[in-house]
A and B are shown apart, each in its own frame.
Chain A
């Protein structure tokens, strides 16, 4: 698997979430994703960017265009140095929320992606990776 190119964007404000959506859209379009696949990736990006801001206290995202002939993909890695998630299984349950949200962010982003992984250490932070392929 080769990384064609990648950018890192900060996630510190609500406007940054909009910018992450736009950059994810750009990468998906660049990789020739269908409109539905673009929308799924951008929606997942929006959920995870908001998690990074609201629960992680801010962080950044690396958006990478991947090439693994014959398929092409986009990978997003969200990293924060927030409080971490004590129970990842629970956090991945539909409807579970520690904030005021609907509890669909993490589980929904997972459903909208082809690849998903999460690493979290209490007191150190959280890293969530998603990828979508065409």
Chain B
């Protein structure tokens, strides 16, 4: 069965969505990620959706769910790489991705996660 790979980088998990996900695959990712957060004791999740050409309300809800679940598990979620056309469409669709932190690219997303961890340890 196809799966979206989840990479571990230090205390963070990195997910790069590169396929046009059908709904079951999106739900699978939600389950896999929450399990991996616990197993890896991850403190942050970075989701790169720069390859996604469409984010509809289903995918949007999945992203919000992942962020909410991760938060309960004491991990921060940052979504990076939203394409401009996708951003325009999301707003018109009425989806605000509330509670989800975003950054322009992987570098900035990683910086955000590191800063948050550093803030905590201060």
Contacting residues, chain B, for A40 (C-beta < 8 A): 88-89, 92
The CA of A104 and the CA of B93, in the complex, are separated in Å by 7
Contacting residues, chain A, for B57 (C-beta < 8 A): 47, 101-102, 104-105, 108
Tell me whether B94 and A111 are in contact (CB under 8 A).
Answer: yes
The residue on A at minimum CB distance from B27 is A14
The residue on A at minimum CB distance from B60 is A102
Does more than half of chain A's interface fall in helix, strand or loop, or is it mixed?
helix
Tell me whether A18 and B20 are in contact (CB under 8 A).
Answer: yes
Return the CB mask of A40-66 against B: 1 if under 8 Å, else 0: 101100110010000000000000000
Tell me whether A46 and B56 are in contact (CB under 8 A).
Answer: yes
User: Is residue B54 within 8 Å, beta carbon to beta carbon, of the partner chain?
Assistant: yes
User: Is residue B121 within 8 Å, beta carbon to beta carbon, of the partner chain?
Assistant: no
Does more than half of chain B's interface fall in helix, strand or loop, or is it mixed?
helix
Tell me whether A111 and B20 are in contact (CB under 8 A).
Answer: no
Contacting residues, chain B, for A35 (C-beta < 8 A): 85
Tell me whether B85 and A111 are in contact (CB under 8 A).
Answer: no
Counting chain B CB atoms within 10 Å of each CB, which of A39, A47, A112 scores highest?
A39
Interface range, B side: 20 to 34
Contacting residues, chain B, for A101 (C-beta < 8 A): 57-58, 61
User: Is residue A75 within 8 Å, beta carbon to beta carbon, of the partner chain?
Assistant: no
Out of A15, A42, A50, A111, name the residue touching B54 (CB < 8 Å): A42
User: Is residue B40 within 8 Å, beta carbon to beta carbon, of the partner chain?
Assistant: no
CB distance from A62 to the nearest CB of B (A): 20
Tell me whether A14 and B54 are in contact (CB under 8 A).
Answer: no
Contacting residues, chain B, for A14 (C-beta < 8 A): 22-24
Tell me whether A94 and B94 are in contact (CB under 8 A).
Answer: yes
Counting chain A CB atoms within 10 Å of each CB, which of B24, B53, B95 scores highest?
B53
Give the interface of B toward A (CB within 8 A). Answer: 20-24, 53-58, 60-61, 83-86, 88-89, 92-95
Give the interface of A toward B (CB within 8 A). Answer: 14-15, 17-18, 21-22, 25, 35-36, 38-40, 42-43, 46-47, 50, 94, 101-102, 104-105, 107-108, 111-112
Question: What would 24 A/B residue contacts be, using CB atoms closer than 8 Å?
Answer: A14-B23, A15-B22, A21-B20, A35-B85, A39-B53, A39-B88, A40-B88, A40-B89, A40-B92, A43-B54, A43-B55, A43-B56, A46-B56, A46-B58, A47-B56, A47-B93, A50-B56, A94-B94, A101-B58, A102-B60, A102-B95, A104-B93, A108-B94, A111-B93
